[in-house]
């Protein structure tokens, strides 16, 4: 018998007494059973997975979209990297900034040009003449979202695309490819952040998702050749994917000043940096860096931006990737707006106003984008050959060397460029003589300094197709027969198109307009004169040269035959002045080492850990360093403890009293290898505790000095003798972790 009434303790006791008092009487008849209760009311469905506010990361994917009577409905999933669904997305949660955008792909009639055009547009100036893509925000329509409690959701757009009037006059066409894009950025009070993008391309009229028209010219992975993912998190970290960038930065969007921010125009213009020119109102050619009005005011991209020299190599971004449906579309010159990103709205190259249509193909073919590549593409097929290398005479080296085309034709001395460029850029036909390759090349002592190891072959006779070189100017070690030897050729050939030509000069620093010089990319001549090192006559794997070329293209700074910079820029090379963007030396406190490691870490664009552009963030070691099979298994180029016995120069940042700041502004310190690697980036920011930590674990830097700063004459020797224990704790994985990445 079921009862729902509460019975007091006193009543129960009294009832028990009455029952016991009637034990001799009849018990009476049992009552009838009560009726079963009715079913309970419907409860809320249970949840499965993890609440999104507890997630370390969120991955979004749009699984389906439907269209009917002007309304789009979209199904999407949110999960973590383990695949656990994330429920709890809500318009009522103050931290949940979740948005949807729309764009359609339109093709210009009679043209190859096809572009994403945004929908839901909003005006960006008071006159209503400039536009940006708008969004549907979850906070504006709580009832638009259905949370299925398992990480799956359904969102119904609040905008009716048949009846809504677009601010930019764009008309929705259900027969065109449409892109739905998700943009989420949750910034919690704790500092934790969830940011994610997703997109979905489909044709609403047919509901097709396969084989739909698209626009794929580049990939985000190609951008990562120079950039890092963190550096391309735009607009405060909410814009992550290239597809989302394309949706917003399309053919009708601009800033309030009517400056185009279409992706092709913007990317080209930004990468021109300070080299972008235009004409002022009087027709004078003036610097015209790309300047846009942002939320924080006008911003000019007037800092060095594109690292390929001496020309802008389009193929760095426009790679021949067969997975890209439109990889060759850029060659059609269809988008004149992209052209003016580099050449400005009034191209200085024309010295006159262009017609309003800016139809570049009226005069230019697609070949103009690749003409500058021809000399380099051809030079890669050439070779430099050494013959009769002789070290039999003590202190003397002799050899024959010639440059050959791909069909074996000898390149004549007149076709080899030999003039010097402006300060710091050398282009003489050198052969650099080195030894101890596996030990980071010769030390810069005595006559082994790089300037005395470089031989200008044009100073020697050219006989029977060979430069015949004999020199005793190099202090070659007396025991050279037991050491590795390298002859590095640095030959630059003059070209007209893809054909070698006799060099014709208009000045000490340049050729006539029809000519272009390019370096022969030839392997150096290497030989182990004795097998004293077990066949290891090459340097341990450090730099991934493919990554260097991927970002910098065919030429770096000077003497660009591969990435053999350390042949001249050895570990103990002297300090040099830092140059500003105009090539002028800056204040003495900015002196830096000229060693390859120090220069690479400090190069503009590489060293942005403490300031910098905020665009190129090179804290991920694997961006440049190799990960390849070394002598003892898998070796990363930034693995510590592999270079003992070397002394690296580092600036002390302490002025030398009485010295001319432009001649010898700071003291030169020496550092042990692992300490030098860290100091090349962090020296200025090391605390006393950090410096003590380095020294306490065997690292050495700076001269041993007493209170009066007296220099220890064996400073370099101390660095070479150091017994560093850094690798014990700082494994490659730990080094990456310190920089915010993982292996």
The segment with the largest mean pLDDT, out of 34-38, 128-132, 145-149, 702-706, is 145-149
| Tokens representing residue 468 in the block | 């015949």
Question: Comparing C-alpha atoms, which of 103, 48, 104 is closest to residue 77?
Answer: 48
Using pLDDT thresholds of 50, 70 and 90, give the confidence band for residue 120.
very high
Q: In this predicted model, which residue has the larger pLDDT, 242 or 620? A: 242
**% pLDDT > 70, the chain:** 81
What are the b/e assignments for 557-584, b being 16+ CB within 10 Å?
Answer: ebbbbbbbbbbbbbbbbebbbbeeeeee
Q: Please give the angle made by the CA atoms of 383, 386 and 387, to the nearest 5 degrees.
A: 140
**% pLDDT > 90, the chain:** 44
Residue 120 burial by Cβ neighbours in a 10 Å radius (0-12, 13-18, 19+): buried
What are residue 425's DSSP bridge partners?
Answer: none
| Tokens representing residue 300 in the block | 């000019």
Identify the DSSP state of 319.
Answer: -
Dihedral, 213, 215, 220, 223 alpha carbons, nearest 10: 160
Does the pLDDT value for residue 536 go beyond 80? Answer: no
Identify the DSSP state of 348.
Answer: G
86-87 and 50-51 beta bridge pairing: parallel
Q: What gap in Å lies between CA 297 and CA 311, rounded to an integer? A: 31
Residue 726, pLDDT score? 95
- Asked which of 57-71, 439-453, 606-620 is least confident by mean pLDDT, the reply is 606-620
CB-facing half-sphere around the CA of 233: CA atoms within 13 A? 15
Residue with tokens 């200025």: 684
Please state the rounded mean pLDDT for residues 350-359. 57
| Tokens representing residue 305 in the block | 């931006």
Does the pLDDT value for residue 730 go beyond 90? Answer: yes
Evaluate whether 314 touches 330 at the Cβ level (below 8 Å).
yes
Chain CA centroid to CA 40, Å: 60
User: E strands within 320-465?
Assistant: 383-390, 397-404, 430-435, 454-456, 462-463
Question: Comparing C-alpha atoms, which of 215, 218, 211 is closest to residue 321?
Answer: 218
What are residue 355's DSSP bridge partners?
Answer: none
Q: pLDDT, tens digit, for every residue of 50-67?
A: 999 999 999 999 999 999
- Asked which of 13-22, 222-231, 549-558, 663-672 is least confident by mean pLDDT, the reply is 13-22
Does the pLDDT value for residue 119 go beyond 50? Answer: yes
Q: pLDDT, tens digit, for every residue of 275-321?
A: 888 888 888 888 899 999 877 788 888 877 777 766 677 888 888 88
Does the pLDDT value for residue 13 go beyond 50? Answer: no
| DSSP result, 389-403 | EE--STT-EEEEEEE
Evaluate whether 402 touches 384 at the Cβ level (below 8 Å).
yes
- Asked which of 136-150, 358-372, 716-730 is least confident by mean pLDDT, the reply is 358-372
Using pLDDT thresholds of 50, 70 and 90, give the confidence band for residue 158.
very high
Using pLDDT thresholds of 50, 70 and 90, give the confidence band for residue 700.
very high
Q: What gap in Å lies between CA 288 and CA 277, rounded to an integer? A: 5
User: E strands within 315-407?
Assistant: 383-390, 397-404
Q: What is the CA radius of gyration of the chain?
A: 35
- Asked which of 25-34, 368-377, 598-607 is least confident by mean pLDDT, the reply is 25-34
Could you give the C-alpha distances from 100 to 52, 209, 438, in angstroms and in order? 18, 19, 56
Does the pLDDT value for residue 631 go beyond 80? Answer: no
Evaluate whether 199 touches 181 at the Cβ level (below 8 Å).
yes
| CB within 8 Å of 583: residues ≥ 6 apart | 422, 423, 424
Using pLDDT thresholds of 50, 70 and 90, give the confidence band for residue 728.
very high
φ and ψ at residue 222, rounded to 5 degrees: -65, -40
Average pLDDT, rounded, for the chain: 83
Question: Comparing C-alpha atoms, which of 630, 625, 649, 633 is closest to residue 569?
Answer: 649
Q: Decide: helix, strand or coil at residue 552.
A: helix
The segment with the largest mean pLDDT, out of 84-98, 289-303, 344-358, is 84-98
Q: In this predicted model, which residue has the larger pLDDT, 416 or 316? A: 416
Evaluate whether 398 touches 457 at the Cβ level (below 8 Å).
no
| CB within 8 Å of 349: residues ≥ 6 apart | 343
Please state the rounded mean pLDDT for residues 31-49. 72
Identify the DSSP state of 425.
Answer: -
Residue 658, pLDDT score? 65
Question: Comparing C-alpha atoms, which of 457, 489, 124 is closest to residue 292?
Answer: 124
Using pLDDT thresholds of 50, 70 and 90, give the confidence band for residue 591.
confident
Residue 380, pLDDT score? 92
Identify the DSSP state of 573.
Answer: P
Does the pLDDT value for residue 630 go beyond 50? Answer: no
Identify the DSSP state of 345.
Answer: S
The segment with the largest mean pLDDT, out of 91-100, 326-335, 390-399, 614-623, is 91-100
Q: What gap in Å lies between CA 539 and CA 524, rounded to an integer? A: 13
Evaluate whether 119 touches 165 at the Cβ level (below 8 Å).
no
Residue with tokens 């677009």: 166
Please state the rounded mean pLDDT for residues 470-481. 88
Cis peptide before 139 (omega within 30 of 0): no
Q: Decide: helix, strand or coil at residue 497.
A: coil
Q: What gap in Å lies between CA 543 and CA 681, rounded to an integer? A: 17
| CB within 8 Å of 606: residues ≥ 6 apart | 600, 616, 618, 624
Could you give the C-alpha distances from 312 to 275, 288, 309, 372, 427, in angstroms and in order? 11, 17, 7, 9, 20
Residue 16, pLDDT score? 46
Q: 11 — alpha (psi -120 to 50), left (phi > 0) or beta?
A: alpha
114-118 and 98-107 beta bridge pairing: antiparallel
Going along the chain from its start, the domains and CATH numbers come out as 50-207 (2.60.40.10), 263-367 (no CATH), 377-540 (no CATH), 591-739 (no CATH)
Cis peptide before 310 (omega within 30 of 0): yes
CB-facing half-sphere around the CA of 356: CA atoms within 13 A? 0
Using pLDDT thresholds of 50, 70 and 90, give the confidence band for residue 500.
very high
Q: pLDDT, tens digit, for every residue of 220-259?
A: 888 888 887 777 888 877 888 999 999 999 989 999 999 9
Evaluate whether 492 touches 416 at the Cβ level (below 8 Å).
yes
Residue 4, pLDDT score? 40
Using pLDDT thresholds of 50, 70 and 90, give the confidence band for residue 438.
confident
Using pLDDT thresholds of 50, 70 and 90, give the confidence band for residue 429.
very high
- Asked which of 105-109, 150-154, 706-710, 726-730 is least confident by mean pLDDT, the reply is 706-710
φ and ψ at residue 428, rounded to 5 degrees: -90, 150
Q: At what angle do helices 688-696 and 673-682 cross, to 10 degrees?
A: 170
Residue 18 burial by Cβ neighbours in a 10 Å radius (0-12, 13-18, 19+): exposed
Residue 15, pLDDT score? 46
Does the pLDDT value for residue 14 go beyond 60? Answer: no
Does the pLDDT value for residue 152 go beyond 90? Answer: yes
């Amino acid at each position: 018998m079921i009862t729902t009434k509460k019975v007091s303790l006193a009543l129960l006791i009294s009832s028990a007494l009455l029952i016991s008092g009637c034990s001799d009487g009849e018990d009476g008849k049992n009552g009838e059973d009560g009726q079963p209760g009715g079913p309970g009311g419907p409860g809320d469905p249970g949840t499965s997975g993890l609440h999104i506010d507890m997630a370390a990361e969120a991955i979004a994917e749009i699984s389906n979209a439907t269209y009917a009577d002007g309304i789009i409905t979209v199904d999407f999933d949110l999960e973590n990297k383990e695949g656990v669904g994330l429920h709890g997305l809500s318009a009522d949660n103050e931290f949940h900034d979740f948005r949807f955008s729309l764009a359609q792909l339109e093709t210009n009639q009679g043209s190859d040009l096809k572009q994403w055009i945004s929908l839901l547009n909003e005006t960006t100036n008071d006159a209503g003449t400039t536009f940006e893509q708008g969004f549907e925000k979850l906070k504006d329509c709580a009832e638009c979202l259905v949370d299925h409690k398992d990480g799956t959701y359904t969102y119904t757009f609040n905008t009716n695309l048949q009846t809504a009037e677009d601010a930019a006059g764009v008309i929705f066409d259900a027969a065109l490819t449409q892109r739905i894009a998700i943009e989420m950025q949750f910034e919690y009070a704790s500092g934790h952040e969830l940011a994610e993008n997703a997109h979905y391309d489909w044709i609403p009229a047919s509901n097709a998702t396969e084989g739909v028209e698209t626009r794929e010219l580049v990939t985000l992975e190609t951008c990562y050749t120079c950039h890092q993912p963190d550096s391309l998190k735009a607009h405060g970290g909410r814009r992550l994917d290239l597809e989302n960038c394309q949706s917003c930065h399309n053919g009708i969007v601009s800033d309030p000043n009517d400056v185009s921010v279409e992706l092709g125009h913007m990317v080209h213009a930004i990468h021109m940096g300070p080299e972008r020119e235009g004409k002022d109102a009087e027709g004078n050619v003036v610097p015209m860096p790309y300047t846009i009005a942002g939320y924080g005011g006008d911003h000019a991209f007037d800092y060095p931006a594109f690292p390929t020299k001496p020309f802008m190599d389009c193929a760095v971004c426009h790679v021949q990737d067969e997975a890209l449906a439109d990889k060759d579309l850029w060659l059609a010159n269809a988008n004149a707006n992209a052209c003016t990103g580099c050449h400005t709205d009034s191209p200085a190259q024309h010295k006159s106003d262009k017609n309003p249509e800016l139809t570049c193909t009226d005069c230019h073919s697609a070949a103009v984008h690749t003409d500058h590549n021809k000399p380099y593409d051809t030079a890669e097929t050439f070779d430099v050959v050494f013959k009769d290398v002789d070290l039999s005479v003590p202190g003397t080296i002799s050899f024959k060397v010639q440059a050959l085309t791909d069909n074996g034709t000898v390149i004549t001395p007149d076709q080899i460029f030999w003039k010097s460029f402006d300060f710091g850029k050398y282009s003489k036909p050198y052969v650099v003589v080195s030894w101890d390759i596996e030990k980071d090349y010769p030390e810069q002592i005595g006559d082994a300094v790089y300037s005395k190891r470089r031989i200008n072959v044009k100073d020697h006779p050219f006989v029977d197709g060979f430069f015949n070189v004999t020199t005793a100017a190099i202090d070659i070690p007396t025991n050279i027969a037991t050491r590795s030897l390298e002859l590095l050729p640095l030959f630059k050939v003059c070209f007209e198109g893809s054909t070698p030509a006799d060099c014709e000069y208009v000045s000490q620093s340049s050729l006539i307009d029809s000519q272009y010089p390019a370096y022969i990319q030839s392997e150096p001549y290497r030989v182990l004169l004795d097998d004293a090192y077990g066949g290891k006559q090459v340097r341990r794997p450090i730099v991934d040269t493919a990554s260097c070329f991927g970002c910098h293209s065919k030429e770096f700074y000077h003497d660009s035959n591969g990435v053999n910079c350390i042949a001249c820029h050895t570990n103990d090379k002297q300090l040099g002045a830092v140059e500003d963007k105009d090539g002028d030396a800056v204040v003495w406190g900015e002196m830096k080492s000229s060693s390859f490691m120090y220069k690479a870490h400090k190069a503009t664009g590489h060293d942005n850990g403490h300031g910098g552009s905020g665009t190129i963030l090179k804290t991920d070691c694997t961006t440049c360093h190799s990960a390849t099979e070394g002598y003892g298994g898998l070796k990363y180029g930034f693995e510590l403890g592999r270079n003992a016995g070397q002394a690296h120069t580092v600036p002390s940042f302490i002025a030398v009293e009485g010295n001319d700041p432009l001649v010898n502004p700071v003291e030169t310190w020496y550092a042990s290898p692992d300490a030098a690697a860290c100091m090349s980036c962090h020296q200025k920011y090391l605390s006393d505790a950090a410096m003590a930590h380095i020294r306490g674990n065997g690292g050495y830097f700076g001269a041993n000095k007493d209170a009066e700063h007296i220099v220890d004459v064996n400073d370099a020797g101390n660095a070479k003798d150091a017994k560093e224990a850094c690798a014990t704790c700082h494994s490659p994985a730990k080094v990456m972790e310190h920089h915010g990445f993982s292996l």
